[in-house]
Structure 1
Amino acid sequence: MPPRSPLPSRFGLDAAWLRTADGASRAPVPAAQLPAAHAAPDPDQAAPANPAAATKPAWETMREWLVARVGMHLDVDAFIADGRFVYETGAPVRAGDRYTPNTFVWFHRDLAAEAEVPGELSIVHRDDRLIVIDKPAFLSTIPRGKHVLQSVVVRLRHELGLPELTPMHRLDRVTSGLLVLTTERRWRGAYQSMFQRRGEVRKTYHAVAQLNPALTFPLTVENHLAKQRGTHQAEVVPGAQINARSTIEFERALTAAESAGIGYEAQGLPGELAAQPPVLGRYRLTPHTGRTHQLRMHMWGAGIPITGDPLYPTDLGIEVDDFSTPLQLLASEIAFTDPVSGVERSFTSELNLPLRP
């Protein structure tokens, strides 16, 4: 871990950091410190063939090292001229500074323009340790890829003046509803451990999906789900040990007025259902595990894919900044025994299905 950053957060984002090699090895740039598109391999990562060469730095100046490390991603000379690279002391990096091993350098990245995500980010509960919010659809939980400023963490850190605000769990970008965050670093461990232990946090979701008279409820779906890095969709792994389990309950049919204008027309419903006018229902979903896209996969697997799902059963190729069709999946309830106070806590979303753009 690096020392504490000499730069304050900007727009709720911590400064990125780099470290010069220790003389015996040259570590790659941490991928988390650069935009995803910039996570290129370090051309000088491999140890030199001659051990004696490890004691001789490959660069004479800090500028040369910075050009080698991040020159493909940003204008090093412009950053140096503007004093945007700083050392642990806060002093700016100068072009002629001698290269020094084991030296940390901090900087703030330039951020690309982002489309503003519609919808209100409302606070359901706030105390000294926790903030519980209703996340609107399309807003990322954490800064990632093309969604940096338009993320829960960055927006709330900036708006509330809480630089250590951290989510204790995640919601898919297209999922709406309850998200629990801790206000300070000192509370993270207790709550993160609780969320990681199976069965200690009770979550309830609600969803809108097509009615399927062939199904009997309550229905339990269980299988092995896996999602490969770089792919959009998760997949079922036949024969593998079960790692995902959900209970689906039918609550009621939606009225014609409630059903109007939601979802995608070509969602790949079973043939006998797709041939009929859509009749939608409201379902109560209880996840007993927490795999990526679990509820979306299990609803599809049951023959009732969630209305407005851009990925399941078919990847519709919806543009990332298309906010016209919310996924009809809501994280509606969450309950647990507070690991700090021992008090039972429960929270209910103030949003309602069906969700409208």
Structure 2
Amino acid sequence: MRRRTKSAPGPLPQRDGVDPVRVRLPVDGSWPTVAAYLAHRLPQAAAGRLAEMLRDGEIIGADGPVEPGTPFVPGTSVWFHRDLEPEVPVPFAIEVVHRDEHLVVVDKPHFLATTPRGRHVAQTALARLRRDLDLPALSPAHRLDRLTAGLVMFVARPEVRGAYQTLFRDRLVRKEYEAVARFDEALELPRTVRSRIVKERGVIAAREEEGEANSESRIELLAARGGLGRYRLLPLTGRTHQLRLHMSALGIPILGDPVYPQVLPEPAPDDFRAPLQLLAASLEFTDPLTGREVRLRSRRTLAAWSDPRGWAAGG
């Protein structure tokens, strides 16, 4: 059974690091039973599966398991675990680079989503860390694209989540990325790129359009060899795909990018040969609770730079 309603803690514990789904019953509803409403609300679920979940006590309300005859009470909630499609395991480790009572900062590998979304649910950094570290309340302070590797911050305690998420909202975290792309000796660097980026829901690629700029990136060349450049990227804003789009707009799309400058056919789920050559290399911030200056750096490298022959063979 699939459900898009946002997950929330409730009477059911997590399963494999994944929260149960919460469904709120509408306040103006007139269904005779909870089961009748769920059959209406989740038409994609097989009737037999819904009946099985009710019979086995897999759907829970505030007062306990929901039965086939449990009456509909407007404004209440029920919880259940959705049936997950099989996921291909991402065969790379997550390295913890910092952990204290408030924070967990990890070095995320390529291909691993930060949080559950779409078909990536159990195979996400959040679910894996909740299981491996036994931290069921762990939540993200920000997100990193599935295809991008590097540093991601998680908050261990719900009561302090807002303090760390505010750091990113107010742009109080200095983020540095590294990328490998074609070297263009005619391109003048360093430079600051500003543009208006629009990302439509359900559309893979973001786009630039005329209008007031809402994104800003600093692009610097660190080194060049063999027709490739190693770049330092400093995002001053946080638009979706901002760095990837800005690099592509400069005529030097990041190696391994399946979206920019054009959307390519999606590889097989178990094809990990050509990772996007983009790395969230460092995070610097003042801890809002302790006042301590925190500077963290990824231990990962980009294969197209550290092993270009291997990259060429793999990609």
TM-score, structure 2 normalization:
0.90
Distance 2:57 2:74 in 1: 21
Matches within 5 A, 1:58-69: 59-69=31-41
1:317 CA drift (Å): 1.4
- Report which of the two has the higher share of strand: 2
Distance 2:268 2:260 in 1: 16
Question: Quick check: 1:141–1:170 contact (8 Å CA) kept in 2?
Answer: yes
The partner residue of 1:195 within 158, 161, 168 is 168
Instruction: Render the CA deviation track for 1:144-172: whole Å, top value 9, x for unaligned.
Output: 00100111111111111111111111111
Distance 1:118 1:2, change over 3 A: closer
Q: Which residue of 1 aligns with 2:20?
A: 15
Distance 1:4 1:326, change over 3 A: closer
Matches within 5 A, 1:107-186: 107-186=80-159
What's the secondary structure of 2:222's corresponding residue?
strand
Question: Quick check: 1:3–1:88 contact (8 Å CA) kept in 2?
Answer: no
Matches within 5 A, 1:1-357: 5-22=10-27, 25-26=28-29, 57=30, 59-74=31-46, 75-89=49-63, 91-198=64-171, 200-238=172-210, 240-254=211-225, 279-319=227-267, 321=269, 322-354=271-303
What's the secondary structure of 2:218's corresponding residue?
strand
Distance 2:266 2:109 in 1: 18
What's the secondary structure of 2:52's corresponding residue?
helix
- Give, as a single letter, the amino acid of the residue that structure 1 aligns with 2:19: D
Q: CA RMSD, aligned part only?
A: 1.8
1:71 CA drift (Å): 4.3
Distance 2:225 2:144 in 1: 25
What's the secondary structure of 1:224's corresponding residue?
strand
Instruction: Render the CA deviation track for 1:55-99: whole Å, top value 9, x for unaligned.
Output: xx2x3333222222224324211111111011113x211112233
1:4 CA drift (Å): 5.5
**Larger Cα Rg: Structure 1 or Structure 2?**
1
- Give, as a single letter, the amino acid of the residue that structure 1 aligns with 2:109: P
Q: Which residue of 1 aligns with 2:308?
A: none
Instruction: Render the CA deviation track for 1:108-130: whole Å, top value 9, x for unaligned.
Output: 11111001112211111111111
Distance 1:312 1:131 in 2: 32
Distance 1:230 1:352 in 2: 32
Distance 2:25 2:222 in 1: 59
Distance 1:143 1:11 in 2: 12
Work out the number of aligned pairs and report it.
298
* Larger CA deviation: 347-356 vs 150-159: 347-356
What's the secondary structure of 2:79's corresponding residue?
strand
Identity %: 45
What's the secondary structure of 2:61's corresponding residue?
coil
Distance 2:280 2:94 in 1: 14
Question: Quick check: 1:220–1:248 contact (8 Å CA) kept in 2?
Answer: yes
Distance 1:16 1:180 in 2: 24
| Structure 1: segments with no counterpart, 5+ residues | 27-56, 256-278
